[in-house]
Structure 1
Amino acid sequence: MKITRVETFAVPPRWLLCRIETDDGVVGWGEPVVEGRASTVRTAVHELAELLIGKDPLGIEDHWQLMTKASFYRGGPVLSSAVAGLDQALWDIAGKIFGAPVHVLLGGPVREWVRAYCWVGGDEPAGVADAVGAQVAAGFTAVKMNASGRMHRLATVRDIDAMVGRAAAAREALGPDRDFAVDFHGRFSAGNARTAIPHLAPLRPMFVEEPVLPEYTHRLADIVRDSPLPIATGERLYSRTDVLPALQAGIDVLQPDLSHAGGISEVRRIASLAEAFDVPIAPHCPLGPVSLASSLQIAFCTPNFLIQEQSIGIHYNDGAEVLDYVAEPEVFAFHQGHFARPTAPGLGISIDEKAVREADGSTPDWRGPVWRHLDGSFAEW
């Protein structure tokens, strides 16, 4: 069996899918994308595809080694995301060839259900209580919300009070038996994070996410040491070597992204590294169906798994939803806020190829918003 073709599809709302075809007709799907840079990653996918055409798709590890190392300049979000999508598609093919889900190929299931959370409140959070109430009514046991919109370089009393007020509204709507997480989204300086986190402590969020930007990972140890709450990070870390300093800093939850951190092959290794630090993983996934399916394959075979992010209903999904590209959407059905273990071979989903081809290129590339402070200077989104 040989790989004969690699295709890519840019589809609404902001996703890039890839399709690997073999001469025996077995097809695998992946989701290689950097949000806001889909066209850039698309080019990288086709460059890397030169290493795959004519090769046996089952040589997944050798393909991963070549895609990540057969170039003098390596790593970074664009290349790692391109590798991630291709790696997902290769695992999808392998599972279909052997007639087993990917998590079975990786050692078998360690659980039958995967807890998931959903987003509430948007980029500049508002209406949190009503949004949380709707998700509780839908059966979810956990939600996540942004801590704030744009943030002053040193937070004002009003900034902190507003953040705490939203968190308090979420806690009241959830009660003591459900969870919420607070995402700082890299919008806080280290000083702001150290000031703000203790004010959240009485509300007991599940974790505080990305309290500082990834380039300031060297400040994480300070934040962890001073924090009364669990600290999470990882969505903008793309390899074992990237996550190691964060683990050494003492973080409590690691959040690798299956479409950014080298795919199933690398996230499996990242999870094992985290286990050595007694740190659970909560895979980051505000993306589409293949990224979610890949995340779930990891979740079902990873002992130190905590909870799964998913994007159904997220505020970024304008014009399309995860289920729009899936031929059998029941695989993503929620049962009291949990996903059931998929049993179909490969990634466990059937992509609606007709819908994907019709959607390709139907919308301009998505771009993240550009925020500015009141003085006109750049503000972190």
Structure 2
Amino acid sequence: MRISRIETFAVPPRWLLCRIETDDGVVGWGEPVVEGRAATVRTAVHELAELLIGKDPMRIEDHWQVMTKGSFYRGGPVLSSAVAGLDQALWDIAGKALGVPVHVLLGGPVRDRVRAYTWVGGDEPAHIGEAVAAQVEAGFTAVKMNAAGRMNRIATRRDIDTIVERAAAAREALGPDGDFAVDFHGRFSSANARLVLPHLAPLGPLFAEEPVLPEYTHLLADVVRTAPVPIATGERLFSRTDALPALQAGIAVIQPDLSHAGGISEVRRIAALAETFDVLVAPHCPLGPVSLASSLQIAFCTPNFLIQEQSIGIHYNRGAEVLDYVRDPEVFAFHDGHLLRPTAPGLGLEVDEKAVRAADGSAPDWRGPIWRHPDGSFAEW
């Protein structure tokens, strides 16, 4: 069996899918994308494809080593995301060729279902309580929301009160048994994070996500030491070496993204590394169906897994939804806020290839918004 063709498809709302075909007719799917840089990653995928055409798809680890280390200049979100999608597709092929789900190839399942959370607010949710209550009614036991929109460089008393009021509304709607996570989204300075976190602690958030930007990971330990709330980070960390300083800082939850952090191969290693630090894994996944399917394969074979993010219904999904590209939507059906273990070979889903091909090229070039402070200077989104 040899790799004969590699294709990419840019589809709404902001996703990039890749398809690897073998000369035996086995097809694997991946999702390599950096949100806002889909065209750049697409080019990187086709550059890396030169290393794979004509090769045995079952040599996944060797391909991963060559793709990540075969060039003098390595790493970064674009390359690691391109590798991630191709790696997902190779694991999909391996599972299909052997007739088993990927998580079986990785040691087998350690659980029968995974808890998932859903998104309940944009940057300025006016009715967070109602949004959370609707998700509770739908069966979810956990939600996530942004802690704040644009932040002042040093939080004002009003900033803090607004953040706490929003969190309090979520807690009231969830009751004592539900969970909410707050995403700081890298919008907070380390000083702001230390200032705000003690005010959130009495409300018992599941975790506070990305309280500092990844380039300030050297300050993370100070935030962790003063935070009475579990700290999570990792969506913008792309390798074990990126993740190590965050783990050493004492975080509670690591959040690698299956479409950014080198795919199934590297996220599996990040999870194992995290286990040595007694850190839980919550895969980051605001993307499409293949990214979610890959995340679930990791979730089902990872002992230190906590909870799964997913993007069904998220506010980013305008013009298309996760289920639009899946032939059997039951694979992503929720049962009391959980997803059941996929049993189909490979990644466990059947991509609707006709829908993907029809949608290719129809996605607008998504870009993250540019925010500014009142004085006109750049503000983190």
TM-score (norm. length: structure 1): 1.00
Corresponding residue for residue 333 of structure 1: 333
Find out whether 1:150 has 2:150 as its counterpart: yes
Corresponding residue for residue 211 of structure 1: 211
Q: Deviations over 1:13-63 (max 9, x none)?
A: 000000000000000000000000000000000000000000000000000
Find out whether 1:107 has 2:96 as its counterpart: no
- The offset of 1:9, in angstroms, is 0.3
- The offset of 1:357, in angstroms, is 0.4
Assess if the C-alpha contact under 8 Å between 1:20 and 1:90 holds in 2.
Answer: yes
Find out whether 1:51 has 2:51 as its counterpart: yes
- The offset of 1:364, in angstroms, is 1.6
1:211 alignment partner, SS class: coil
Corresponding residue for residue 75 of structure 2: 75
Assess if the C-alpha contact under 8 Å between 1:29 and 1:89 holds in 2.
Answer: yes
1:218 alignment partner, SS class: helix
Assess if the C-alpha contact under 8 Å between 1:12 and 1:362 holds in 2.
Answer: yes
Once residues 154 and 59 of structure 2 are traced to their aligned partners in structure 1, the CA distance between those partners, rounded to angstroms, is 51
Once residues 6 and 175 of structure 1 are traced to their aligned partners in structure 2, the CA distance between those partners, rounded to angstroms, is 49
2:280 alignment partner, SS class: coil
The 5 A counterparts of 1:129-168 are 129-168=129-168
- The offset of 1:363, in angstroms, is 2.3
- The offset of 1:125, in angstroms, is 2.9
Q: Among the aligned pairs, what percent are the same residue?
A: 84
- The offset of 1:122, in angstroms, is 1.0
2:212 alignment partner, SS class: coil
Q: For residue 184 of structure 1, what is the amino acid of its counterpart?
A: F
TM-score (norm. length: structure 2): 1.00
- The offset of 1:155, in angstroms, is 0.6
Corresponding residue for residue 292 of structure 1: 292
Corresponding residue for residue 187 of structure 1: 187
Assess if the C-alpha contact under 8 Å between 1:117 and 1:143 holds in 2.
Answer: yes
Once residues 86 and 56 of structure 1 are traced to their aligned partners in structure 2, the CA distance between those partners, rounded to angstroms, is 14
Q: Deviations over 1:327-349 (max 9, x none)?
A: 01100000000000000000000
Once residues 143 and 172 of structure 1 are traced to their aligned partners in structure 2, the CA distance between those partners, rounded to angstroms, is 13
Once residues 363 and 108 of structure 1 are traced to their aligned partners in structure 2, the CA distance between those partners, rounded to angstroms, is 37
Once residues 67 and 252 of structure 2 are traced to their aligned partners in structure 1, the CA distance between those partners, rounded to angstroms, is 31
Find out whether 1:282 has 2:316 as its counterpart: no
The 5 A counterparts of 1:232-381 are 232-381=232-381
Q: For residue 203 of structure 1, what is the amino acid of its counterpart?
A: L
1:201 alignment partner, SS class: helix
Q: How many residues align?
A: 381
Q: For residue 156 of structure 2, what is the amino acid of its counterpart?
A: T
Assess if the C-alpha contact under 8 Å between 1:125 and 1:148 holds in 2.
Answer: no
Once residues 356 and 228 of structure 1 are traced to their aligned partners in structure 2, the CA distance between those partners, rounded to angstroms, is 45
Corresponding residue for residue 23 of structure 2: 23
- The offset of 1:128, in angstroms, is 0.6
Once residues 197 and 125 of structure 1 are traced to their aligned partners in structure 2, the CA distance between those partners, rounded to angstroms, is 20
Once residues 196 and 309 of structure 1 are traced to their aligned partners in structure 2, the CA distance between those partners, rounded to angstroms, is 24
Once residues 127 and 325 of structure 1 are traced to their aligned partners in structure 2, the CA distance between those partners, rounded to angstroms, is 31
Once residues 198 and 248 of structure 1 are traced to their aligned partners in structure 2, the CA distance between those partners, rounded to angstroms, is 22
Corresponding residue for residue 38 of structure 1: 38
Shift >6 Å, 4+ stretches: none
Q: For residue 236 of structure 1, what is the amino acid of its counterpart?
A: R
Once residues 34 and 290 of structure 1 are traced to their aligned partners in structure 2, the CA distance between those partners, rounded to angstroms, is 14
- The offset of 1:276, in angstroms, is 0.3
